[in-house]
Amino acid sequence: MTGRVLVTGAAGFIGSHTCRAFLEDGWEVLGVDNFDPFYDRSLKEAGLADLAQYPAFQFVEEDIREQSALTRLLDEASVVIHLAARPGVRPSIEDPELYVSVNVQGTVSVLEACRRAGVHRVVFGSSSSVYGDDTPVPFREDAEAVMPISPYAATKRSAELHCQVYTHLYGLRIASLRFFTVYGPRQRPDLAIHRFTRLLKAGKSVRRYGDGSTERDYTHIDDILQGIKGAVEWTADRTPAFEIFNLGESRTVQLNRLIELIAEALRVKPQVEEVAPQPGDVRLTCADISKARRMLGYQPTVTIEEGISQFAKWYEANHGRQS
């Protein structure tokens, strides 16, 4: 199955990988991004330069909140993969209004553009953060998820609810994918794995929030792409529907163990500076992925040990000399 797909957030970490994956599968891909200054534009442009080698790739610099522009861009598109968002739990506490504007208003703008353009197939990139700290482990998609502990989490849950409304009112078929701590080559520099790798490679200490006992369900980008492809196939059915899917590894890794793995991959001894836990950070994430296995054919294969080893090699090949 191929066609024309519009990917929002195309210059970002998950977005650029998604564009490449669909181009390699024979799709025409239109990427949209506004180069939000959350991190260095040059890093995003490097990813886009890699995509420029594909004749079937087009890119437009545009803000998803510009609904009329999005509606025009959706001409001839068969499916939208909506990944554009203002990321980050801690920064959302500092500027919640911006997060509401981009993540909620922006998502509604995408949905409204789809309605006006007659595009009924949408894959939305949500987050495991919506589960908060009170959801039983492992997290299941039918959990209420009504106790977010950061503005970022609240905006993602709100965006999911708007997706559900558009399915009910306008017959869209939408898959909401709750990503669990995605990592891999070209990961955002502010995220833990990239930041720890950079610091440890440079012989510096890493700042660890809390005692290191927090746990995350880390998911390699290759496995996330597999889930996104499965979700796009799921939207091909013309029956209106809204479904939430967890995309994780169904395995938790303690923060202390993560630091050890990165240090081992870099062949260094880690130096750790403990600081107070950050407000808004959940204690644990763990995905029940049985629904995604059953309905999307999702089958994660990259272990955290293998993924960290691959990431360290990528980092040393691309950034080692700058450390």
Residue 168: Cβ within 10 Å count: 11
Whether omega for the bond prior to residue 138 falls within 30 degrees of 0, making it cis, is yes
Assess whether 218 carries a catalytic annotation: no
Structure tokens at 32: 């949209």
Spacing of C-alpha 26 from chain mean position: 23
Spacing of C-alpha 22 from chain mean position: 16
> Any residues with CB less than 8 A from the CB of 208 and at least 6 apart, and which?
255, 256, 259, 272, 273, 274, 275
Question: At CA 25, angle to CA 21 and CA 29, rounded to 5?
Answer: 65
Q: Name the phi and psi angles at 103, rounded to 5.
A: -80, -30
From the list 99, 152, 183, 315, the catalytic residue is 152
Q: 244 has which bridge partners? A: 176
Task: Give the strands of the sheet with 28-33, arranged side by side.
Answer: 57-61, 28-33, 4-8, 79-82, 121-127, 173-179, 241-247
User: Which residue do the tokens 């998911």 mark?
Assistant: 219
Q: What is the C-alpha to C-alpha distance for residues 79 and 21, in angstroms, rounded to an integer?
A: 15
Half-sphere exposure for 230 (CA within 13 Å, toward CB): 23
> Any residues with CB less than 8 A from the CB of 203 and at least 6 apart, and which?
268
Q: What is the C-alpha to C-alpha distance for residues 248 and 264, in angstroms, rounded to an integer?
A: 24
Q: What is the C-alpha to C-alpha distance for residues 217 and 215, in angstroms, rounded to an integer?
A: 7
Cite the active site residues.
Answer: 152
